[in-house]
Amino acid sequence: MTQDQLKQAVAQAALDMIQARLTKDTVLGIGTGSTANYFIDALAQYRFDFDGAVASSAATEARLKAAGIPVYDLNGVGTLPIYIDGADEANPHLHLIKGGGAALTREKIVAAASEEFICIADSSKQVDILGHFPLPIEVVPMARSYVARELVKLGADPVYREGVVTDNGNCILDAYHLDVLDPIAFEQRLNQIVGVVTNGLFAQRGADVLLIGHPDGVKTYY
């Protein structure tokens, strides 16, 4: 199977998992990226079985609307029952690295506002230790160089993601060459750097369920 076929299979598995829970009042949180896009494509046929969705990015909002799914502002809907999103890396504790698509801040907000986070990914995303994938960090533009220097002090090798402006008008530093041995502590440490808006470690609030698409089927981790 190709990586895209694994993403498609895991997106379908997530839909199978939540379908019986959809009601006319359900508002889902929907993430960003190619795996989330496969989920939206599969969800479209059930659009009359639930109310709508909160999107974690402008790109996801556009895709949801194109699929005929109403999109709501998070401020108007309260706690969401389910958030479904992909990841760049996932460890056995269901801690994640996210933000490869630069949507980490809104993703972290929607995850925080959701009762259950179902993470969907292909098997290439499973790791023992987070950090092989460069850790995305959203930064206020004027603080870019200062934050980069602070990241170097923490052992990272930050690279400015050229030409990328987030949905919130900020820039992204990708922190290379990290072995994140204590993801919760490192997430908190990065949050203390002035000028950091969000870091891509989802450990304090990791996934509740991890669905991984393997060539021999989708596996579920709690």
Catalytic residue IDs: 107
Options 86, 158, 183, 206; binder of ligand 5RP; rule CB under 6 A: 86
The neighbour count for residue 23, using CB atoms within 10 Å, is: 10
> Stretches 26-34, 108-116, 144-152, 172-180: which one binds ligand 5RP (CB under 6 A)?
26-34
Options 10, 15, 18, 98; binder of ligand 5RP; rule CB under 6 A: 98
Q: Indicate whether 103 belongs to the interface with ligand 5RP (CB under 6 A).
A: yes
The neighbour count for residue 65, using CB atoms within 10 Å, is: 13
Options 29, 99, 131, 195; binder of ligand 5RP; rule CB under 6 A: 99
Q: Indicate whether 29 belongs to the interface with ligand 5RP (CB under 6 A).
A: no
Question: Distance (Å, rounded) from C-alpha 111 to C-alpha 215?
Answer: 28
Residue 55 marked in a binding site: no
Q: Indicate whether 100 belongs to the interface with ligand 5RP (CB under 6 A).
A: yes
Structure-block tokens of residue 50? 């639930």
> Stretches 79-87, 151-159, 163-171, 213-221: which one binds ligand 5RP (CB under 6 A)?
79-87
> Stretches 20-28, 100-108, 158-166, 178-186: which one binds ligand 5RP (CB under 6 A)?
100-108
Smallest separation, CB 107 to ligand 5RP (Å): 6
Q: Indicate whether 134 belongs to the interface with ligand 5RP (CB under 6 A).
A: no
Options 15, 90, 104, 148; binder of ligand 5RP; rule CB under 6 A: 104
Options 40, 90, 101, 110; binder of ligand 5RP; rule CB under 6 A: 101
Residue 131 marked in a binding site: no
Smallest separation, CB 110 to ligand 5RP (Å): 11
